[in-house]
Structure 1
Amino acid sequence: MIRLLLADDQALVRGALAALLDLETDLEVVAQVGRGDEVVAAARAADVDVCLLDIEMPGMTGIEAAAALRAELPGVRSLVVTTFGRPGYVRRALEAGVAGFVVKDTPARELADAVRRVHTGLRVVDPELAAESLLAGPSPLTVREAEILTLALDGSPVAVIAARAHLTAGTVRNHLSTAIGKTGATTRAEAARVAQANGWL
């Protein structure tokens, strides 16, 4: 029996996934959480084999949760199951140690098969997303530029972003200017939207 944890902030989605996966004779959902920062503790407590992670969750993203799992519970495999099939997400997830990446409209039988394959040590990535990820290439942004753009998403002024990032306003302006150039945008708001749409943030 393969023991599963489901992590998704939408209870309805978690319930539907659990119902589908529990129909399989060799799969058992033994834990469910609605926040990314609850994944490691729940996985440890329930002695799970595979964690199915959404990307956008409160507390910690699914990608961050996968990295935490790899560091703290290296025997537990993780599979991203998300609505957000952005090429940058695929690359970042694989770099964080995710063993699989599929979208939520994957047929139930294929999802169950992906879980089994991930459990045996294989890597499973939605073929269309894999192709898009290869074509898109890696994020052109540095870690700091991505951080600054993330802080700029809500339209905060440079002074506020600088205070949050513990940088000078001039340094923040430089990072924003470089990020605008790299994304082909004309404003920092547009640069943030482009980066988010590509899964670079």
Structure 2
Amino acid sequence: MIRLLLADDQALVRGALAALLDLEADLEVVAQVGRGDEVVEAARASGADVALLDVEMPGLDGIGAAAALRAQVPGCRALIVTTFGRPGYLRRALDAGASGFVVKDTPAEELADAVRRVHAGLRVVDPELAVQTLTAGESPLTGRERELLRLAESGATVAQIASTAFLSEGTVRNYLSAAIGKTGARTRAEAVRLARDNGWL
């Protein structure tokens, strides 16, 4: 029996996934959480073999949760199951230690098969997304540029971002200007949107 942990902030989605996967004779959902920062504790407590993680969750996103699992509960493999099939997300998820990445509209039989393959130590990636990722290339943004774009996403001023990031306002402007240039945007808001659309944030 393969023991599963489901992590998704939408209770309806979690419930639907649990119902589908519990129909499989060799799969058992042993834990469900709605926040990324609850994944490690739930994996430890339940003895889950595979964690199905959404990307966008409160507390910690699915990519961060995959990295935390690899570091703290290496016996539990991570499979990203998300609505957001963005090339940048796939690359970041695999770099974080996820064993697989599929989109939520994957048919139930294929999702169950993906779980079995990840449990067996194989890597499973949505083929269409893999092609998009190879075509798109790597994120042009540095870690600091990503951090400041995330802060800018909330509508914070340069002064507020500088205070939060412990940088001077001039340094923040330089980083944001570089990010705008690298994304091909005209404004900070457009840079945030393009980076988000590409899965770089």
Q: TM-score range by the shorter chain?
A: over 0.9
Partner of 2:142: 142
Partner of 2:15: 15
Partner of 1:29: 29
In 2, Cα distance between equivalents of 1:11 and 1:149:
29
Partner of 1:127: 127
* Aligned amino acid, residue 129 of structure 2: L
Runs of 5+ unmatched residues, structure 1: none
* Aligned amino acid, residue 151 of structure 2: L
In 1, Cα distance between equivalents of 2:30 and 2:37:
18
* Aligned amino acid, residue 151 of structure 1: L
How many percent of aligned residue pairs carry the same amino acid?
A: 77
| Stretch deviating more after TM superposition (2-11 or 151-160) | 151-160
| TM superposition shift of 1:75 | 1.3
Partner of 1:194: 194
| TM superposition shift of 1:155 | 1.8
Deviations 1:127-176 (A, max 9, x none): 00000011001100000000001110122110001111111100000000
Partner of 2:86: 86
| TM superposition shift of 1:7 | 0.2
TM-score calculated relative to the size of structure 1: 0.99
* Aligned amino acid, residue 26 of structure 1: D
Deviations 1:53-110 (A, max 9, x none): 0000000000000000000011110100000000000000000000000000000000
- Aligned residue for 2:52, secondary structure, equals strand
TM-score calculated relative to the size of structure 2: 0.99
* Aligned amino acid, residue 24 of structure 1: E
In 2, Cα distance between equivalents of 1:64 and 1:52:
13
Deviations 1:157-198 (A, max 9, x none): 100011111111000000001001100011111111100110
Residue correspondence of structure 1 range 88-103 to structure 2 within 5 A:
88-103=88-103
**Paired residue total:** 201
Partner of 1:171: 171
RMSD of the alignment, in Å? 0.4
Partner of 1:107: 107
Structure 1 residue ranges (4+ consecutive) displaced by more than 4 angstroms after TM superposition: none
Runs of 5+ unmatched residues, structure 2: none
- Aligned residue for 2:28, secondary structure, equals strand
2:99 paired with 1:75: no
